[in-house]
Amino acid sequence: MLSIEDIKALIKEMDTSSLSELKFESDDTKITLRKASALANKAIIQAVPQTTGIQAPVAQAAVQASVPAGDAASAEKTEDASLHKITAPMVGTFYSSSSPDTEAFVSKGSKVDNKTVVCIVEAMKLFNEIEAECKGTIVDILAEDGQLVEYGQPLFLVKED
């Protein structure tokens, strides 16, 4: 049986690889990981436990993230070649601050540099700090606190200096 650490390692390897889908099966576990594609705008993570002996209903957990129709229109209008997009490096939950009672890492008009933490994306109880990786000014924040984001989804627009 796979441990949570093994599953986290699989997801991390999947995020950094060029693979778009990974299927793993063992005696009691079947895991399918699929990355978001640029065309489909969907990410699916699916875990299906296998039953042995007695036939029982199979429990299935699936998480789907897709861009709502309203957000797609706003993403199109913000397509500006002069702006740098800070994108989500993985599927997870977007948090604008380190805790609910603290201020957001950045807001519109904030100056950032390569190492400025702009948000946190939480995936499987791992809180990943996302850095700006460019120098400039935050022009727009495209995700809301607590929103599920997908791999490659634009989170911030930065006017580079």
In sequence order, which residues have a C-beta less than 8 Å from that of residue 15 and are 6 or more positions away? 35, 89, 90, 151
Which of 17, 45, 66 marks a domain boundary? 66
Question: Which of 41, 66, 91 corresponds to the end of one domain?
Answer: 66
pTM above 0.85, yes or no: no
Please answer whether residues 96 and 119 qualify as being in contact, where contact means their C-beta atoms are separated by less than 8 angstroms: yes
- Tens-binned pLDDT, residue by residue, of the chain (161 aa): 677 777 778 777 777 777 777 777 777 777 777 776 433 333 344 444 444 444 333 333 334 444 444 454 444 444 566 799 999 999 999 999 998 899 999 999 999 999 999 999 999 889 999 999 899 999 999 999 999 999 999 999 999 98
pLDDT digits (tens, 9 = 90+) for 60-101: 333 444 444 445 444 444 456 679 999 999 999 999 999 889
Domain boundary, last residue among 50, 66, 82? 66
pLDDT value for 79: 52
The predicted pLDDT at position 54 comes to 41
Structure-token pair, residue 101: 């009672």
Are 73 and 145 members of one domain?
yes
pLDDT at 37: 47
Same domain for 22 and 60? yes
Q: Which domain holds residue 23?
A: 4-66
Whether residue 58 contacts residue 48, with contact meaning beta carbons closer than 8 Å, is answered with yes
Task: Give DSSP secondary structure letters for the chain.
Answer: ---HHHHHHHHHHHHHSS-SEEEEE-SSEEEEEEPPPTTT-EEEEEEEE---SS--PPP-EEEEEE--HHHHHHHHHT--TTEEEEE-SSSEEEESSSSTTS--S--TT-EE-TT-EEEEEEETTEEEEEE--S-EEEEEE-S-TT-EE-TT-EEEEEEE-
Compute and round to an integer the Cα radius of gyration of the chain. 18
Clarify whether residues 89 and 131 are in a common domain.
yes
Residues 58 and 73 grouped into a single domain: no
Tally of structural domains, the chain: 2
Taking the CB of residue 35, how many other CB atoms lie within 10 A of it?
A: 22
Give the residue carrying structure tokens 């229109």.
Answer: 73
Q: What is the pLDDT of residue 36?
A: 61
Residue type, 141: I
One domain, residues 88 and 150: yes
Same domain, yes or no: 42 and 90? no
Residues 36 and 88 reside in one and the same domain:
no
Residues 141 and 155 in one domain: yes
User: In the prediction, which pLDDT does 1 show?
Assistant: 65
User: What pLDDT does residue 5 have?
Assistant: 79
